[in-house]
Amino acid sequence: MIKAVTGTKDILPSDIPKWKHLESVVQTIFKNFNYSEIRTPIFEETVLFARGIGEETDIVGKEMYTFLDKGQTSITLKPEMTASVVRAFIEHSLASKQPLYKLYYISPMFRQERPQAGRLRQFHQFGVEAIGSESPILDAEIIQIAYDILRRLGLKDLLVKINSLGIPESRENYKKELRHFLNDKKNKLSEDSQKRFDTNILRVFDSKIETDQELLKGAPILLDYLDEESKIYFNIVRNILREADIPFEIDTKLVRGLDYYAKTTFEIISGKVGSQNALCGGGRYDLLAEQLEGKPTPGVGFAAGIERILLACENEKTLSLPEEKLDFYIVTVGENLIEKVYNAASILRRRNFSVEFDYLDRSAKAQMREANKLNARFVIFFGGDEYSNGYFSLKNMQTGEQKQFPLEDLKTIVIE
């Protein structure tokens, strides 16, 4: 049997209602905050991600779906959206059309990792990118958007974590201090952490190994090394969040894995999913546009994992979706009236009613069972008797009441 590729999932008809519900909540809130949708291609030239996300990151280093096309160009299925959006922003000179763009997207992403709970190779994200302003209000705003969406989906077991990485200069100072602090303990660190000591020392904090965390006790704290401007900036973000009633926790170890972040970073985690507990994450990336050879343009954004959010919703049992209803089910039996039934259905369908009937030549009882399963509000009986006498029977499935009407009434009938 040919199966879906490892780490990919079919979204079956029975899954669709919850996806539609999530999408509708997401779109409502983006509209409330006046964000406009952007759609970019599913693949890009590999260099975009290599330069935008950073050569040293795991995503670029070992997780991308990369291949050569027939023109020998290296192509990569997008592993995230920020680089693509900024690329489109630069390519179409959007900055010259209006100074600030508030954009959102919903799109599949691809990363070649080992699948586990909450982690797929093709997964879906929604997210925003606000490009063109360095106001801390936007940092707070996007955190609120993410938080509000999750709350509106009914999630409660949430933790908002925020941090500030400062500007590159202050971060460099801090790294120097941290390196100094860890230097004589270096050979006691785990192998991974020793590697990080050299490549990206901040990420030593991410280690889950106890001995590493022991060694980190008493380490200098990033927030203490922020430059004055970044400190004030971070204070404003926190104040706005407090006024918006968004509970948060400062996590000085929250260093996101993508190279382009500066100043604010944040993450919202759920206690109801597996170990992949980040439902969304993001931050400010004021230097990214330059890295992609655009004019210096500040930006801030987040991405949220749809499959993880739906998993959290299922585990918190937050989704009570309205049942799909069908307006009419037409039951026929005996005489071969299928074409007449089809015509009757057409009349109603063109009047915008949802209508179904039996294509499988099943018994009247089976048809009624089907009507019931489909939550039909009304059943139309249309058999030999009715047809030869020019009428149909209409049964209200809720009350069980049944009446007869002339066939002509199909063109005018109104329900409820």
Partner RNA sequence: GUGAGCGUAGCUCAGUUGGUUAGAGCACCAGGUUGUGGCCCUGGGGGUCGUGGGUUCAAAUCCCAUCGCUCACCCCA
Question: Binding residue for RNA (CB under 7 A) from 402, 409, 411, 415?
Answer: 402
If binding is defined by CB under 7 A, does position 379 make contact with RNA?
yes
Q: Is residue 281 involved in binding RNA (CB under 7 A)?
A: yes
Q: Of 48, 202, 319, 366, which lies in the binding site for RNA, with binding defined by CB under 7 A?
A: 366
| Closer of 1 and 321 to RNA (Cβ) | 1
CA 171 to chain centre: 30
Going by DSSP bridges, is the β-strand pair 74-77/43-45 parallel, antiparallel, or unpaired?
Answer: antiparallel
The first and second tokens of residue 105, run together, are 């997207």
Stretch that binds RNA, among 91-99, 151-159, 343-351, 365-373 (CB under 7 A): 365-373
Query: Binding residue for RNA (CB under 7 A) from 191, 398, 412, 416?
Result: 398
Q: Which is nearer to RNA, 35 or 378 (CB)?
A: 378
Question: What residue has token string 């670029």?
Answer: 60
Minimum gap (Å) between residue 167 Cβ and RNA? 20
Paired tokens of 276: 């992949």
- Which of 26, 150, 371, 410 touches RNA (CB under 7 A)? 371
207 belongs to the binding site for RNA (CB under 7 A): yes
Interacting residues of 146 by C-beta distance below 8 A, sequence separation 6+? 268, 280, 282, 302, 304
Task: Characterize the bridge pairing of strands 262-270 and 278-284.
Answer: antiparallel
Q: In residues, how long is the chain?
A: 416
What x-and-dash track marks residues 324-363 binding RNA by CB under 7 A? -------x-xx-------------------------x-xx
Question: Can residue 3 be called a binding residue for RNA (CB under 7 A)?
Answer: yes
How far is the C-alpha of 378 from the C-alpha of 357, rounded, in Å?
A: 12
Give me the phi and psi of 66, to 5 degrees please. Answer: -120, 140
- Sign of the CA dihedral with 371 first, then 372, 378, and 379 last: positive
User: Smaller CB distance to RNA: residue 271 or 274?
Assistant: 274
The helix (run of H) or strand (run of E) holding residue 366 is: helix 364-373
By CB under 7 A, is residue 234 in contact with RNA?
Answer: no
Among 170, 143, 136, 134, residue whose Cα is nearest residue 297? 134
Total residues binding RNA (CB under 7 A): 70
220 scored as a contact of RNA (CB under 7 A): no
The CB-of-359 to RNA minimum distance in angstroms stands at 11
CB of 241 or CB of 258, closer to RNA: 258
State both tokens at 11.
Answer: 């979204």
Q: Is 162 in the site for RNA (CB under 7 A)?
A: no
Interface segment toward RNA; rule CB under 7 A; list 28-36, 228-236, 244-252, 267-275: 267-275
Q: Is 368 in the site for RNA (CB under 7 A)?
A: yes
274 binds RNA (CB under 7 A): yes
Q: Which CB atom, from 113 or from 148, has the smaller least distance to RNA?
A: 113
Helix/strand/coil for 158: strand
**Closest to 309 (Cα-Cα) out of 282, 279, 281:** 279
For residue 379, list its beta bridge partners: 329, 395
What residues from 32 to 71 belong to the interface with RNA (CB under 7 A)?
Answer: 57-59, 63
Q: Using alpha carbons, list the distances in angstroms from residue 7 to 15, 260, 351.
A: 17, 27, 43
Q: What three-state secondary structure class fits 73? A: coil
Binding span for RNA by CB under 7 A among 89-97, 148-156, 228-236, 373-381: 373-381
Distance CA 256, CA 58 (A): 12
Q: Which is nearer to RNA, 262 or 280 (CB)?
A: 280
Contact (CB, 8 A) for 266 and 147: no
Contact 261, 165 (CB under 8 A): yes
In the region spanning residues 306 to 325, those forming contacts with RNA, defined by CB under 7 A, are 307-308
Q: Which stretch binds RNA (CB under 7 A): 24-32, 115-123, 220-228, 239-247?
A: 115-123
Q: How far is the CB of 292 from RNA (least distance, A)?
A: 17
**What is the distance between the alpha carbons of residues 399 and 396, in angstroms, rounded to a whole number?**
6
Q: Can you give the binding site for RNA, defined by CB under 7 A? A: 3, 6, 57-59, 63, 80, 111, 113-120, 123, 125, 192, 196, 203, 206-209, 256-258, 267, 274-281, 303-305, 307-308, 331, 333-334, 360, 362-366, 368-373, 379, 381-386, 393, 395, 397-398, 400, 402
